Amino acid sequence: MPNKLNRAQQPSESPCSSRPLQVGRSQPRTRVEHTPSWRQSCSRTGPVPHRHSREDECFYVLEGQYEFRVGDRIISASAGSFLFAPRGIPHTYKNIGTAASKHLTIISPAGLEKFFEERNALQKELPTTDPSYPGRDKALSEKYDLEYSPDWSFPPKAKN
């Protein structure tokens, strides 16, 4: 049987949310190599500039118009566009259209989905305005070796 996206797992509670997708049959796997997720972005929104040290991230635009920044490159992307953000390179995107846009994100290797699960749990436990939230969110980002920088100022990475 061919793999099909499980549409029941697409976001329903908000027009601008994301959920991991289940691909294929729901059987335990011994090796997972990447994590796909479906996202819908409201107009003029996107994540804070960030970089991953462990994962590469790919984006496939399904609907709408985005502007991606990967390193120093700014890339316009519409339906059918595929972009690659390698690990270690700061990146972000925003929906530059007037309506919600959709894209598929593939993160490889798998594992970062646990960060999103833990962050969602933290957001259910504490409002983002709680004084302890920033410290706990930072600790979670550090656990998964993620760096965020709203002003795009990332420190140089140490060479291995």
Q: Could you write out the DSSP letters of every residue in 63-88?
A: ESEEEEEETTEEEEEETT-EEEE-TT
Predicted pLDDT of residue 76: 96
Confidence of residue 45 (pLDDT cuts 50, 70, 90): confident
CATH architecture of 33-110: Sandwich (2.60)
- Segment 58-84 shows an average pLDDT of 96
Mean pLDDT of 67-82: 96
Q: Where are the domains of the chain?
A: 33-110, 112-148
Q: Average pLDDT of 135-147?
A: 96
Nearest 5°: CA angle at 71, between 66 and 74? Answer: 35
Alpha carbons 127 and 118: distance in angstroms, whole number? 14
Return the pLDDT at 154: 79
pLDDT at 34 over 50: yes
